[in-house]
């Protein structure tokens, strides 16, 4: 497939502008949006921005199925939310992914929104049961498999959106297509995290190309600087580099970090904004489409070219099919 064929119909990777910004909350984005009769799936619903994303979508009227490794913790995090159903999901376990997806498919409903929110960060070298590096396996391959299993309900919705949670951390590393699981190169937990976040963005690029003829559009999201349980593996030295200070059992966060409500806003914006009708395959931040920045750019904004390159996206897709043993359904 030629580069021109891959790029045909792509949305331009530049701000609209949207009228929202870094301090916008998810509830503000969803104000006036009516999701009654719509079905959404949100992964990673036990902590961080996952519960807030699910809560706001349900408040707008959607029926939301939440996947979480710790169901009881997710239910506590979502206490008071209506129309939310929490089910077990471990993205590093292919059987768990299949069971969760089957429970959604068996309902017979179309799936309007899929928010691939769950993730892990900066783990010491850990491998799943297949021997795959855990950050790549959880953040990318698990969501790749889940989306494939939910492809039928997504297509039936005719105007579905898939949101892939990436990060400014993608700037740490592109995807190493020759050694994604660190079997030959030395393991670096931050490079592994960056690779997984680049993979999330590339997944949205290729998924959108494949899906737009079926009414399925995809978006990658950087939620912004926000301190959640995702940082559990960071050392005090690493935290201090970002201005975060540990005080006993609590962490003091400097100004400029987002709240959970603000951190969930771009995911919700990509899920519901009419400004994105007919668009997709782009990396978004601060409730808008991000701009492309040079590969050596220092500010934590914008997207590196390697994370939105359609050729890399197609190559990663083929690798992902091989690693998961999946052939993407028609």
Catalytic positions are: 193
Selection from 102, 97, 121, 111 nearest residue 43 by Cα: 97
Enter the tokens of residue 46.
């036990």
Radius of gyration of the chain (CA): 18
Selection from 166, 61, 49 nearest residue 113 by Cα: 61
Alpha-carbon gap, residue 151 to 41, rounded angstroms: 13
Sign of the torsion angle spanned by Cα atoms 64, 69, 74, 75 = positive
Enter the tokens of residue 109.
């409903």
Alpha-carbon gap, residue 252 to 85, rounded angstroms: 33
Peptide bond into 17 cis (omega under 30): yes
Alpha-carbon gap, residue 28 to 31, rounded angstroms: 5
Concatenating the DSSP letter of every residue in 40-57 gives EEEE--SSTHHHHHHHHH
Residue 91 in 3-state DSSP? coil
Alpha-carbon gap, residue 56 to 109, rounded angstroms: 21
Enter the tokens of residue 191.
């490079």
Alpha-carbon gap, residue 94 to 134, rounded angstroms: 13
């Amino acid at each position: 497939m030629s580069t021109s064929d891959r790029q045909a119909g792509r949305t331009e990777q530049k701000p609209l502008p949207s009228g929202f910004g870094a301090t916008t909350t998810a509830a503000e984005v969803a104000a006036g949006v009516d999701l009654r009769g719509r079905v959404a799936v949100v992964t990673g619903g036990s902590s961080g921005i996952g519960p807030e994303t699910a809560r706001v979508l349900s408040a707008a009227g959607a029926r939301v199925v939440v996947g979480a490794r710790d169901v009881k913790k997710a239910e506590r995090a979502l206490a008071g939310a209506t129309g939310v159903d929490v089910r077990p999901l471990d993205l590093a376990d292919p059987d768990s992914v299949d069971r969760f997806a089957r429970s959604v498919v068996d309902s017979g409903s179309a799936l309007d929104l899929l928010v691939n929110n769950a993730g892990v960060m900066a783990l010491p070298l850990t491998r799943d049961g297949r021997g795959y590096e855990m950050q790549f396996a959880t953040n990318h391959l698990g969501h790749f498999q889940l989306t494939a299993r939910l492809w039928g309900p997504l297509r039936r919705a005719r105007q579905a959106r898939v949101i892939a949670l990436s990060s400014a951390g993608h700037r740490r590393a592109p995807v190493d297509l020759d050694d994604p699981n660190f079997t030959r190169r030395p393991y670096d937990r931050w490079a592994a995290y960056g690779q997984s976040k680049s993979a999330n963005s590339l997944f949205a690029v290729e998924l959108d190309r494949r899906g737009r003829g079926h009414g399925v559009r995809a978006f990658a999201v950087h939620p912004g600087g926000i301190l959640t349980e995702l940082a559990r593996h960071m050392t005090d030295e690493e935290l201090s580099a970002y201005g975060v200070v540990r005080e006993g059992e609590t962490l003091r966060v400097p100004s400029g970090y987002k709240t959970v409500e603000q951190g969930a806003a771009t995911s919700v914006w990509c899920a519901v904004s009419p400004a994105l009708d007919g668009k997709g395959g782009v990396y978004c931040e601060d409730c808008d489409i991000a701009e492309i920045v040079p590969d050596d750019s220092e500010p934590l904004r914008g997207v590196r070219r390697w994370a939105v390159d359609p050729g890399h996206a197609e190559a990663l897709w083929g690798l992902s099919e091989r690693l998961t043993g999946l052939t993407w359904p028609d």
